[in-house]
Structure 1
């Protein structure tokens, strides 16, 4: 039995050697993909850090509040303020895509804000039976003012939300300081009541020794695109199975004394080796090439064995899927496009292209059934969450069961098609 399995393995190696160009593509394509994607993401991040986004800023208030907002925007290192626009021309410039956004500060914003605060503070102080400051007893509450924000229709929703939250925070802090100042004036106290944050946020990250482990683009891209490359062997594997049908090889396999599942196991071992080599090449690029390209180094210290185990199980899932496609397809024109398209769809559903948590709720549920999502979660658990085999056992079991299910369906289909 072992000899037959070995001969089946040798046969697969010989078949692959006949298509040396295809083998080069299998290994070269993922490397080019991971280098390109990582460079684009990293350079984009650096560009956002080093360059400013031009936005239109119109100050119709020209007083304390608007000056504070303008100063905060200028010192944020994110925006470059353009001020030579009217509100009408700014609206046109933004809606035609010339600028990402425009901020319009209304007239008398500071004056009306002060009036509103004075009026409310007087009401509160009077409710306690205290005398109010005679210099502000005539304060009348004004209608709330709107700061107009214009966004390019093509602007990302996340960018809109972050800008609106930042401006809202600035206005909130200004209002708080003015409220404290108004209470000081009304109560006639000289004690410093300046509003200072009593609660702050501190990010806690995993530690490695005395150093914090900070996730980076490489830690996300290497496992994600390695997994994509592993599943892309579905294409050559399914094509080889179809070739065997058209060339009569599958007939000779069926009439030979060797069981058909030995033939499938031979393919499994052969393509598992390819999957491991693909992953090792990806890791090598992350460890040695990325630092030379001014990218973060991929850290696999103490994790390589676990990562290889995940790679083997992910490879099994990919091979099972490729066997099924090759078994049910009659021509290469069926297997190649369907195999490539299905891998892309599985990658999209599994979180390779877009993180699962950003997907709609029903897509998040669908993602739980994607083998690429299982593999990606297992990789992330090891690399980013420092998990062991016990923590990823569920994903490994799912990947193995997926392989068993795909191969079992293929064997049943093959038996049914060739039954006399």
Structure 2
């Protein structure tokens, strides 16, 4: 009997949704537009050694060995496209005007002055060993340190600035080291080649699939992130329907009927859970079939579909629970609609959908741990990027289910209190 009542409640929800076809279309179409647009925008960020080059202005006033080495390394980085038809004044105007992200200006006599400084310092050190050198003359020949001037567009991201400055510093440091070794070799009169080889190197170890490295890309990050955003966006239509039922008297009839009120809530849960799964499947279909035609990586779900569906179901339960609570507490659609949309955006921001959690301030990272979107996103990433199974995501799906139980329980208690005689 309860199953029949649950079925009738489900049919009732379907009939309600059919009255708002436009709203249902938005629920499905809006996330698809979001995922396509944002993935296209972010794809170059995730491409490794294949992304489009960033045009930067390079002005060489030195025109000698060191500036040539810096230019060569910048070109070999495959990150930058060097533009050389500028002088410093026009470069400053172009960068500060927002036409280019940055300009690098190599000062005059950079190679000459560095060679002079290194030779003077090496002579001073060698003379301290008791070897005969003209250290006093060397000290007179030293000159002030040269500045490689970097112009950045004021709108340039701070992390980009830091990365470029670190790269330039590394280039200059390596060049100086080689020259210091060469200067010692000349001063000591040795014929042995003192090579400046690094004693420590970095080797990145990445997950492998067969003989190929598994590297993250824009699709692997955006499909689960925006699928989760779409799932939680059902809070808006769900809460609006609950408010409509209160204003139209449907909820009163549901309470006085012999059917328990929790059956009414379960009917909504099953209905919107189906919508959540359909949303996710549409996102996956776009990642698998559409993205390759847009020159984007294909979304690989080989052997991962079952755990992904399980996470989707529990994430959908969390979203439905939040929507039920909002629709129960709100008195008008003017309250539920804007608050529901705003709260979903806030949860997405806090949960790491837009900005990775590790980039947030420490107190925001703590807050993110309590966000249901963060639980769902971590579960998706564990499956897609870390190849975890059901056991690896047990904690996250448990939290999502408990969140649903808590939201529905609070809703039922609030509803009982409001209608107590």
TM-score of the aligned structures, taking structure 2 as reference length: 0.93
Shift of residue 52, structure 1, vs aligned partner? 4.2
Do structure 1's residue 21 and structure 2's residue 22 form an aligned pair? Answer: yes
**How far apart in 1 are the matches of 2:32 and 2:102?**
38
SS at match of 2:392: coil
Partner of 1:10: 11
Partner of 2:113: 112
Shift of residue 118, structure 1, vs aligned partner? 1.7
Do structure 1's residue 138 and structure 2's residue 141 form an aligned pair? Answer: no
**How far apart in 2 are the matches of 1:209 and 1:71?**
35
CA deviation vs aligned residue, 1:177-219 (integer Å, no higher than 9, x gap): 1001001001101111121233322221111223221211111
**How far apart in 1 are the matches of 2:306 and 2:48?**
36
Shift of residue 110, structure 1, vs aligned partner? 2.0
CA deviation vs aligned residue, 1:97-136 (integer Å, no higher than 9, x gap): 233222222333222212221222223323333344x6x8
**How far apart in 1 are the matches of 2:3 and 2:77?**
67
**How far apart in 1 are the matches of 2:96 and 2:293?**
42
Mark the runs of 5 or more structure 1 residues left unpaired by the alignment: none
Partner of 1:226: 227
Contact 1:122/1:137 (CA < 8 Å) preserved in 2?
no
Partner of 1:367: 368
**How far apart in 2 are the matches of 1:79 and 1:137?**
45
Contact 1:287/1:298 (CA < 8 Å) preserved in 2?
yes
CA deviation vs aligned residue, 1:355-391 (integer Å, no higher than 9, x gap): 1112222221211111101100000001000112222
SS at match of 1:107: coil
Change in 2 beyond 3 A, CA 1:307/1:102: same
Change in 2 beyond 3 A, CA 1:376/1:145: same
Shift of residue 346, structure 1, vs aligned partner? 0.7
Change in 2 beyond 3 A, CA 1:57/1:287: closer
Contact 2:44/2:51 (CA < 8 Å) preserved in 1?
no
Mark the runs of 5 or more structure 2 residues left unpaired by the alignment: none
Shift of residue 61, structure 1, vs aligned partner? 3.0
SS at match of 1:391: helix
Contact 2:272/2:320 (CA < 8 Å) preserved in 1?
yes
CA deviation vs aligned residue, 1:145-167 (integer Å, no higher than 9, x gap): 22221211111112111111111
Mean Cα displacement is larger for which, 123-132 or 363-372? 123-132
Partner of 2:249: 248
Shift of residue 83, structure 1, vs aligned partner? 4.4
Mean Cα displacement is larger for which, 266-275 or 119-128? 119-128
**How far apart in 2 are the matches of 1:38 and 1:101?**
25
Do structure 1's residue 94 and structure 2's residue 90 form an aligned pair? Answer: no
Partner of 2:84: 82
**How far apart in 1 are the matches of 2:405 and 2:411?**
10
Shift of residue 45, structure 1, vs aligned partner? 6.4
Contact 1:52/1:80 (CA < 8 Å) preserved in 2?
no
Do structure 1's residue 211 and structure 2's residue 207 form an aligned pair? Answer: no
**How far apart in 2 are the matches of 1:74 and 1:208?**
32
SS at match of 1:139: helix
Contact 1:320/1:407 (CA < 8 Å) preserved in 2?
yes
Partner of 1:260: 261
SS at match of 1:138: helix
SS at match of 2:103: strand
**How far apart in 1 are the matches of 2:83 and 2:49?**
16
Contact 2:47/2:217 (CA < 8 Å) preserved in 1?
no
SS at match of 2:83: strand
What is the root-mean-square deviation of aligned Cα atoms in Å? 2.1
Change in 2 beyond 3 A, CA 1:101/1:43: closer
Partner of 1:398: 399
